[in-house]
Each structure stands twice: as C-alpha cells, then as structure tokens.
Amino acid sequence: MKRRTVVKGLGAASAVPAVGLATGSARAASRRPADGPLLFDPAAYTEQTIGITDTEGVAHEVVYRFHKVASYVAKPVDATYQSLNISVPVRIDGAAVDAADAPILFANSVGGYMPSSVANKTGITATGMGGATSRQGLALAAGYVVVEPGARGRTLVDANGTYYGTAPAAIVDLKAAVRYLKYNQGRVPGDVHRIASCGTSAGGALSSLLGASGDSPLYEPYLREIGAADASDAIFATGAWCPITDLEHADMAYEWCWGSNPLASGALVDRTVSGELSSAYGPYLASLKLRARGFGALTARNLDDYLLKTFMRPSATKYLAALSDEARAAYLAAHPFLTWDGTEATFTWADFLTHVGARKKNAPSFDAFDLSTPECNLYGTGTTAARHFTLYSLRHAAGDSAHLDEDIPAKLHLMNPMYHLVDKVNAGRSRHWWIRLGTKDSDTSHTVAGNLSARLTDLGDDVDTSYYWDAGHGADQDPGDFIEWIASVSGHRHR
C-alpha cells in the first residue's frame, strides 16, 4: 500500500510535517530480500509547495517531493544521524520539471565537527544564514535534486560513556550516504554520476575530503561495519567553503599565517610556541611539493606572494570594481594601504595581515595543550573524550618521549583530503572543485584552502577558487554562481 500526503504550503516557512510515509519495505523485500533496507522507494514521499527567492530576488513557487530515508545504512549505529532526506522538484512556477537526470546537490550541514541530523526535518532547508536562500533552496529552484544527509559527530556518547561520533565517523557516514544513492541508481531521482557535494567550515572540510577520497579502500572496514551499500562513494564535483581541514598541520600553518596578528585582547600569543610552530611549517610545506604557475615550487618564503597575487589582490580588485565610484573612493580613503590604479588593487602581504587585524584563535589553535579544542575531541576514542593528534602538543603536555596513540596516524589520513591528493594520489577523486573563503576568516590559516587549490590545479583538475574580500567565517557571497557552475561542469542545461 502506498500513501501519499499532498501538502500545499505557502512558502519557506510552511513546511508541514510529513505524515503517513509509506516505507515500501514490503515490496522491496520481495524484490531484493537481502538488501531490503537499502532500497529506495520512489513512491514514499510527501508533496510540498515552497516559495524560494533566487539570487536575483525573484520568487519562485516550487512543488517538490520530499522523501525521508530512515537510514542510509543497514546497520545504523544511530539512525538519528545516519539518515537522509531527498527533495525532488516536480513543478517550478507552474511548469512541470523532470529531475530524473538532474544533478544532485549533496548538502551536508555539519558545523564544528558536531553531529548533524536531518531526521526531524519535515521539508527541505530552503533558508540559510541570515534568512537568505540556502544552496539547497537555490538548487531545488534550478531543478536539481537535493540530498541532505545527516552524519555522526564528535560529541556523541552512548550510555557507557563511549564516543561513537569521533573520527572518522562523519566521513564514513557521508560516504555511506553517497553509496546509498549510487546503489539506488535508476530508483533514486537525479543523476547519481553528477553528485555535487557542498558544506561550510567543518562541513567544507568533510565535503573536500569526500571529493578527494572517493572510492578509497581505506574506509572499507568502517563502511562494512555499518552496513553501507555495496556501491561507489566517488562524487563528481566538490564545493567547499572555508574548509577547516589538514588539521594535523593547521597549528603550524596558523602561526605561519597569523603568527604576528594579535588576539582580540590585543595580546600576542606565546612567542616561543608561535615561533616553533611557524618554523615547522616550512618543512611540511616543502613535503607537499606544491607548484604554481609563475611561482615554481611553493615554499615558506614565497607562499605569501602566491596567496597575495593569486587570491587576495584579485579578491580586493573584484570587490572594488563592483563598487560605485563614490563608494570605492570612500573605501580607498579609509584603507590607504590599498592602491587602486583604476583596474587593479595592490598591497603588500604585511599590510593585508594588519588589515585583517585580530586573529581568532590562540596557539596552538587546533591541538590545544589543554585538549579544549573541538579537534582534540574529534580525535577522541572509546571513553576518552579528547586526545592530542600532533606530536608537538602531545610532547608539550606529556614530555619528549611521548608517542601519539597508535591509531592516530591512520585516522589523520582518513580525515585529511591532502593525504588523498599528495601522499596517495587518488584516482577516484572528484575532478571539479569550487573553493571559497573570506579574506578576514582566521578560523584557520589561509594556506589551507590555498594549498588545496594549488594541489588540485597541479593535478590538472578543474578548480574554481575565490576569496571573498573582507568576509569572515562561513561567508557565501556567490551561491547562485555555484548552482550555475554545477550545471556547467555537469553538462546540465540550467533553467
């Protein structure tokens, strides 16, 4: 028996609880008994209507099917997190749309490496930060299928005090969700070979990791353990906003970048710690063997010049070019460090750092000596809430003969896209990349996104990287362009 609940809403705020969802499991069981739980049932959905305002300010009425998938794995550890929702447009502004072959936006909502659940959502998340239309909303109004996966996160702890969402749980879950879609190719709406992932901050880190590590065998035991579908977890395109990644090198990178910037209090961080970490960044950077056109090998000596010329100056140039003559003159008068020749903005790296001002984090920024940072919790295990994951911080805390726990190195690889792009160049990676970061974002070093972009470019992938001038953490200033980019790289005719 199939029941459909047709819900007519009046706008983004009108999402109505999905009731009477048919699971389809009886029919699925007769078709594929062994894999019943992982079969998608196209007939189980609620139909909803939503108002979505596009980036031009034009309002659209979208009728869509909202599918709730109770779990994307056969053996969920916690289905509250290991579930996903699929939204499929059927009518846009009164015209029927067929999303059967449309690109799929795979939008994670991870923040802070925390657990993220979509289990209680009763419709697509069409509005994002500050009430603006979310990437999901824009994608739906463009005729794409939107998948919103939940994932376990670092703070989850069971009745025995065991942490069950620490590394690598979140990436394993996102991979399992992709596998679910690919396993259901032909049953699930949308083109599973045109999955574009997106996420912001920790979600951007996981999105870039999902893109970099597609089909890597390293995750196999973890995927098997939760009963993930037997299918590929490679994705077609990757969007990453302010990715907080390359964590085990992020303390060094942070001091290389922001070491001379004061904290909000005006104080500088410990000069010895900052200096030691910053000095250690050079050898790490050298080990990546990054190259960039016009710069040759990227080293701790020319990386500032690379970042300045490749990202920061073009970012300021774009910003200033878009201003009215009056507004530009006012900005330039207020920021004399910046020179404008009528077409291009120029300034030095040192002046750029001064312009950014206060750094957000103390040193070490990620592997704090007192284990207080989110990342120490991310590398917790068993009943241990937080652990050191760099030798530098561990030895600072526990003495020079201390060694990282045995499982840490492998877990670092499972969480770091750079590992899959440098140490083991992964053929299953995504080949289309959209990377964005605000120039005033000091949640991590500017080198993190810059190095990711440099490496991918060097590998010959299609990379679109841009920094938003004067924007802080989590900014997304060109969400409509991202939606159009998905159409362009996937060969989909954009509406």
The string of DSSP letters for 314-365 reads HHHHHHHHTS-HHHHHHHHHH-TT-EE-SS-EE--HHHHHHHH-SBS--SSS
Question: Nearest approach, Cβ of 187 to ligand DHB (angstroms)?
Answer: 33
The string of DSSP letters for 34-55 reads GGGGG---TT--EEEEEEEE-T
What is the C-alpha to C-alpha distance for residues 435 and 484, in angstroms, rounded to an integer? 15
- Residue 145, by phi and psi: left (phi above 0), alpha (psi -120 to 50) or beta? beta
Applying CB under 6 A, which residues contact ligand DHB?
A: 111-113, 201-202, 244, 374, 443
Question: Nearest approach, Cβ of 199 to ligand DHB (angstroms)?
Answer: 9
Q: Which of 107/192 has CB closer to ligand DHB? A: 107
Q: Which of 42/111 has CB closer to ligand DHB? A: 111
Nearest CA to 137 out of 62, 34, 211 is that of 62
Residue at 309: amino acid letter: K
Question: Nearest approach, Cβ of 113 to ligand DHB (angstroms)?
Answer: 6
Omega prior to 33 cis, within 30 of 0? no
Q: Which of 123/364 has CB closer to ligand DHB? A: 364
Residue at 275: amino acid letter: G
Q: Which of 48/166 has CB closer to ligand DHB? A: 166
Residue at 218: amino acid letter: L
How far apart, in Å, are the Cα atoms of 263 and each of 2, 123, 368?
Answer: 59, 41, 16
Q: Which of 178/202 has CB closer to ligand DHB? A: 202
Question: Nearest approach, Cβ of 202 to ligand DHB (angstroms)?
Answer: 3
Q: To 5 degrees, how large is the angle CA 353–CA 358–CA 362?
A: 110
Going by DSSP bridges, is the β-strand pair 104-107/95-96 parallel, antiparallel, or unpaired? unpaired
Tell me the residue number closest to ligand DHB, measured at CB.
201
Question: Nearest approach, Cβ of 150 to ligand DHB (angstroms)?
Answer: 15
Question: Which residues contact residue 406 at a Cβ distance below 8 angstroms, ignoring those fewer than 6 apart?
Answer: none
Q: Which of 100/129 has CB closer to ligand DHB? A: 129
Question: Nearest approach, Cβ of 254 to ligand DHB (angstroms)?
Answer: 10
Question: Nearest approach, Cβ of 111 to ligand DHB (angstroms)?
Answer: 4
Q: Which of 139/240 has CB closer to ligand DHB? A: 240
Q: Which of 99/368 has CB closer to ligand DHB? A: 368
Nearest CA to 51 out of 39, 43, 40, 63 is that of 63
Question: Which residues contact residue 75 at a Cβ distance below 8 angstroms, ignoring those fewer than 6 apart?
Answer: 225, 226, 227
What is the C-alpha to C-alpha distance for residues 135 and 147, in angstroms, rounded to an integer? 11
Question: Nearest approach, Cβ of 362 to ligand DHB (angstroms)?
Answer: 12
Question: Nearest approach, Cβ of 374 to ligand DHB (angstroms)?
Answer: 5
Q: Which of 111/472 has CB closer to ligand DHB? A: 111
